[in-house]
A and B are shown apart, each in its own frame.
Chain A
Amino acid sequence: MWEQLIEDVPRFFGFWNLMFLGQALLNTLLLSYLGAAFGFALGFCLAIGRHPRLYGIAPLRLLATAYVEVFRRIPFLVKLMCVFFAFQLSGAQASLFTVALVTVVLSAAAFAAEIARAGIESVPAPQWNAAEAMNFSRWQMLSRIIAPQSWRVVVPPLFGYAVGFIKSTSIASQIGVMELTYAAKILNTRGFSALLCFGTILVVYFLICWPTKRFGEHLETRLGQRPQA
């Protein structure tokens, strides 16, 4: 095992393999960060649409709640398959990358909606009452009162969830999206030892996830120290 490994190493880290892995890494990064960004934006909209004092009109509220509760209870793989086949049925010519991106966005939205709700609820009731007494419109209330106070609570946990989505994108290899895990499988099939292929991407995943998580923790302590407005 070890002799073969030592023989493989220079070949494995050759120029073309590194280019191949680099492209896969780029896809993983794009898929997870882009998906998380869109998903979180959508999640905030959902949270705003769920809150009775913001835009929570009854049918909208019900829909948003059902969405959040259902999508948090379906495994990523099953969601991926549903989105994949739904795209197929609709006849839209979507790339595999788009399918995976949509799945990440849909699940990120459901999780972000819960965090954003916690953030919105962290604003004390007198603030809401005061804003209403001053005859603020819903939009003014959100942008002037709620958002400036709740972002400190909302932003740090998002990084933890972003790490979760970086890890989930490895499942996108199942439908053949060219990301890190799929690249490792291909290299493994080409005859490089499994230890080398999967060991390398484990390290790469770690090098992406760990700084993201640490940055979130750093933000949490930093934003927590500041006096609350």
Chain B
Amino acid sequence: MGYDLIYSQVTGHVPYLLGGALLTLQLATISFLVGWAIGLFNASILHFGPHPARLAVQGYVTFFINTPLLVQIFFIFFVLPDAGILLSPYTAVAIGMSLNAGAYLTEIQRAGFQSLRREEMDAATAMGFSVPQMVWYVVMPHIAKTLYPPLSNQFIIQVMTTSIAAIFAVEELTGRAYNVNSLTFRSMEVFSIVAVIYVVLTLACSLALAVLGRWLFRVKARIV
């Protein structure tokens, strides 16, 4: 039983796949930005907030880090309709990924908050800064540079994680791969091409983020 790899039947679909890559990037960016905001908010609570709020945030982080994203999205997608909230697959995946990323980004940014010097906080307090002002004007500029490499790393992880959206019939890169697969039945060819696209895509993102980091902070971000 021989099987010949015939790529010519799939190459015509590559532009369609690359269109899916755009959606992948979109989903990754949305979930990263929302997750980053959640993370910043949570890290502020962990640093400045009262005890019960800190416990709640720690519970959120521990729970989301220790359960699979796929099941979290299943939960959002299948359980919320019972409560009368109907979500489109795209929204459900975006919410799930954002909440998941939020947990990881809380951990990352908490480490940044801990690296701050006490005197700076005291000075800000003496100047009458409120907590949000303190976070935005004092903490953020200080931790931006140190947190840039782990944050860009998290973005790359988000890009790869979006493939889970295919399971919910969102037509991003992997979702479109499923479509092309059912059109051509050239499974090995389709998925090997998609694998290469993912490698190139994440490398391009790493490179772009490294260049951006160089330009913003003069830091050497790791590409590989």
A-to-B contact residues, CB < 8 Å = 1, 69-70, 73-79, 81-82, 85-86, 88-89, 91, 163, 166-171, 173-174, 181, 184-185, 188, 193-195, 198-199, 201-202, 205-206, 209-210, 213
Contacts and interface: CB of A to CB of B under 8 A. Distances in A.
Contacts of A79: 195
A74 B199 contact: yes
Interface residues of B, number: 39
A86 to B, nearest CB: 6
Contact of A78 (B67, B72, B177): B177
Given A78-B174, A89-B188, 11 more contacts: A74-B198, A75-B162, A75-B198, A82-B188, A85-B187, A85-B188, A169-B68, A184-B71, A184-B74, A198-B71, A206-B63
Interface string B186-210: 0110011011001100110000000
B219 interface: no
Q: Which 5 A-B pairs have the closest CB atoms?
A: A75-B163, A194-B78, A170-B68, A209-B66, A167-B68
A134 to B, nearest CB: 34
B194 A78 contact: yes
Q: Is the interface of A mostly helix, strand, loop or mixed?
A: helix
8 contacts: A1-B82, A75-B162, A75-B163, A75-B164, A82-B192, A88-B187, A194-B82, A209-B65
B1 interface: yes
Interface of B: 1, 3, 62-63, 65-72, 74-75, 78-79, 82-83, 156, 160-164, 166-167, 174, 177, 187-188, 191-192, 194-195, 198-199, 202-203, 224
